[in-house]
Amino acid sequence: MESSEEEVVLISDLIQKGANGARADDTKGMKSAIIDWITPKGQSLNPHIPRNVKSGRGFNHERTGALLCPAGLDWANTETKTKLVGGHIQVAGNQWPVFLYANYTYDPEDPWNGLLHSGLLVSAFKHIFTSPSSVDQEPKATRSGNAHIHGMRSVTKASLGYVATQARFVLTSAQVFSRTDHVTDSECFYNSILDLLDDTDEKDEVDQLMTWWNR
């Protein structure tokens, strides 16, 4: 039995509402948890970042600002930092933040070095697709939780892009996740990651990356 066009639209709308609800849950949970992940062990953030308040995040805070600083720019440079804080440097969605890289270090000589290997991303992935309690544990990211429920047996390019987008959003001071928000430019950011991961010219590097995530 074929579905009518109206039914297809209705079902698509319901699926989208479900996806939006799930995304909101992911955002709410990670907004609090990420504070633990970005706080150096044995230390505290100064100034303190409230778990459920976003206004003090983004380039308004030393720690989140350093993580969101676009690769290739130097957060330690006073002039650069001042321009980012003041909004005089507009960060586009396809300007990737340094937190995507292993040890939060970008290598201009080898842009693939450490890309999408950061501990913050691993924690975010486990938080969303396994369970919040699994972040400090070793099991594979797709063993249980949401990944298992949805039959997801491996880390996918789309799920990796989604996690990076969520992590980036909760680090910013933006209050509402919106596809059309030109400040966070989340849709452009997500698409730029998928564009790279789907680029046939980058296949060898992408294969190595996905093997690392599914090890």
pLDDT digits (tens, 9 = 90+) for 48-64: 999 988 999 999 999 99
Q: Tell me how far apart the alpha carbons of residues 169 and 27 are, in angstroms, rounded to a whole number.
A: 8
Q: Counting beta carbons within 10 angstroms of the beta carbon of residue 213, is it exposed (0 to 12), middle (13 to 18) or buried (19 or more)?
A: buried
Peptide bond into 108 cis (omega under 30): no
Q: Is the pLDDT of residue 16 over 80?
A: no
**pLDDT at residue number 52:** 87
- Helical axes 203-213 vs 157-171, angle rounded to 10°: 80
Query: How confident is the model at residue 70, as a pLDDT?
Result: 97
CB 68 within 8 A of CB 169: no
Task: Give the count of beta carbons closer than 10 Å to the beta carbon of residue 12.
Answer: 10
Tokens 């987008």 — which residue? 165
> CA-to-CA distance for 58 and 45, rounded, in angstroms?
14
How sure is the predictor about 112, in pLDDT bands with cuts at 50, 70 and 90? very high
Report whether 107 contacts 137 (CB < 8 A): no
Question: Domain spans of the chain?
Answer: 5-213
* pLDDT score of 154: 83
Average pLDDT over all residues of the chain = 83
Residue type, 213: W
**Residue 73 Cα to chain centre, angstroms:** 19
| Confidence grade of residue 34 (pLDDT, cut at 50, 70, 90) | very high
pLDDT of the residue at 204? 98
